[in-house]
Structure 1
Amino acid sequence: MKKITPLLFILLITACSVEPAIDELSIETDTDTENNSDTDTDNDSDNNSDADADADADAEIIYYLPFITTNTAQNISINQAKLSAHIELAPLSVGDGIAGNSNQIERKGIVWGVNENLSLDNGFNIIFNSDPGDYSTTLENLNPATTYYFNAYAINANDEVVFGIEQSFTTATEAPCEYEVDNYLRPIYKDYDQPYRPERVSLTNPNIYGQGNLEFVASSSNSIVKIIVRLNEIDGNLPLSGTYKGVYDFNNLSIQSSNEMRLTIEDYNGLIDFYPQGASNNTDTEIYIQNTGDKISFIFCDTAVGDYVLTGKFSYQIP
């Protein structure tokens, strides 16, 4: 009986020492499983992110080009002209999936010169800001009787250049004759040649259908003679320098200057039997108008008006 007791003691000790080992092994196994699961999840997330990044990197960003309209030139004179254009941004596509797409422009401008097929390398370049909409400029110090070409352009965020449709204009010619004395005319009829010196030149709107929107009248208090020039100008603006040709009437429904005029001489002086009581221009009648900014001169270079021949000039002082 004394020999059995130590053996039981040893077995009890052995049993107690084994249980903690099993519990410890079980804990270590659970920890490794969780770590492996977290690692796999992180790896999948990283792989997906990398794949998305690669897809975005491979996608091509679209840079849209704007829509450009190059307008026809306006206010053309001997040495200047107004150029204008309009730019409209292209709409961005909805749902294209690329956040970097752009329809913005970096800058816009107008290129001009005396040669056709203009580019940024072979013309004079006028640069504007990047705002869309209307923009314009006035060219000055141009040569008379010269044809110029111009076109509007824009550059997008990818340095791509887009142009409108090229336009052209021709500056007016200089007056074919010149007179030093102002407000001095000679309405010649056959052998009758009497100087006419208008004392005043007035400007009104004739307000008569087909007779334009500007009426310049040269008159004098001591004479019944009147010389009348009617014009049809854009928005009723004062005429620019250039040669104006005679028409019988204007189309008031589309008011715009096309260098046309109506010229009339009124004379109701019955004391001279052979002197006609006025005359009007023909379609081949031409006069020259000179706008210096402070006055407008009407120049007649042996201008045929009916049976008259009109020489000299009169001027209207711009207020």
Structure 2
Amino acid sequence: MKYLSIIMMFVCSLFIVGCSDDDKIDNTASVSNLTIGEVTSTSASLSAELSAASMQNFIKKGFCYSTSAEPTIDNATLCEMTGDFSATLRDLQPNTTYYVKAYALIGDNLVYTEQKQFTTPSKTLEDQLSEYICPAYVDDYVSMAGWDQRANWNLANVHDPSVMKAADGYYY
């Protein structure tokens, strides 16, 4: 029993010596330089920076954004990452103001950058035309185009004078 007490005291002393203050996580997190890059009608690129001490000990980092001011990780859409501190927000709504913050969780310390905002522009005519999908149904009158079917024509075979072909190749 005497030897067991000595061994227990030795193990405890090793544990106390092994836990120095140098091994503590630095909870003084710093996230800064939130930058809003290119903004389109449906996307925005973001970047931020972590301090050197924070870079080694972060648990998670990312961007939170919302259409309401002061977004947080609790009430706004969240984009988390583990690598480079940059992201592209996608599927945004055109002509909408968004508020964004970068955040980092170091230990149990959650820090945010100051809020920034950006407004997505309206879609351009080129954007709208590039997203246009033609109707999939057959839109012709071939089945009744013959002269012998003229009794069925009614307005189906009459030219619409309000339709015109523009220089861009589209009919309006």
TM-score bin (small chain): 0.5 to 0.7
The aligned counterpart of 2:100 is: 150
In structure 2, list runs of 5 or more residues that go unmatched: 131-166
Deviation string, structure 1 residues 125-159 (Cα, Å, up to 9, x no partner): 11111x4xx42222223222211011111222x34
| Residue of structure 2 equivalent to 1:141 | 91
Aligned counterparts, 1:82-101, within 5 A: 82-90=45-53
Aligned-residue sequence identity (percent) comes to 22
Check whether the contact 2:34–2:113 (CA below 8 A) recurs between aligned residues: no
Q: Secondary structure of the equivalent of 1:143?
A: coil
Superimposed CA distance per residue, residues 76-124 of structure 1 (whole angstroms, 9 cap, x where no aligned partner)? 2222211111223318xxxxxxxxxx95112221111112222111111
The residue aligned with 2:26 is: 64
* Separation in 2, partners of 1:81, 1:127: 15
Larger radius of gyration: 1
Residue identity matched to 1:125: L
The answer to which structure, 1 or 2, has the higher relative contact order (CA under 8 A, 6+ apart) is 2
Gaps of 5+ in 1: 1-38, 92-101, 179-289, 295-313
Helix, strand or coil for the counterpart of 1:119? coil
Higher helix proportion (structure 1 or 2): 2
1:78 equivalent in structure 2: 41
Distance 1:51 1:136, change over 3 A: closer
* CA 1:173–1:105: 2 relative to 1, 3 Å: same
- For residue 117 of structure 1, what is the amino acid of its counterpart? E
2:59 aligns to what? 106
1:169 pairs with one of 106, 109, 118? 118
Which residue matches 1:205? none
CA shift, 1:52, in A, is 6.3
In the comparison of the two structures, how many residue pairs are matched?
A: 127
Alignment of 1:190-209 (within 5 A): none
Cα 1:89/1:60, change in 2 over 3 Å: closer
Question: What RMSD in Å do the two structures reach over aligned CA positions?
Answer: 3.7
Return the offset for 1:174: 4.5
Q: Tell me the TM-score normalised to structure 2 length.
A: 0.56
Q: Matched residues in 1 for 2:101 and 2:74: separation?
A: 13
Q: Structure 1 pair 58/291, CA: closer, same or farther in 2 (3 Å)?
A: same
Task: Say which structure is richer in strand.
Answer: 1
Cα distance in 1 for residues equivalent to 2:77 and 2:58: 20
SS of 1:90's partner is: helix
**Aligned counterpart, 1:115:** 68
SS at match of 2:35: coil
Structure 1 Cα separation of the partners of residues 75 and 50 of structure 2: 22
Residues 231-254 of structure 1, C-alpha deviations (whole Å, 9 max, x = no match) = xxxxxxxxxxxxxxxxxxxxxxxx
Distance 1:128 1:170 in 2: 24
What is the one-letter code of the residue matched to 2:50?
I
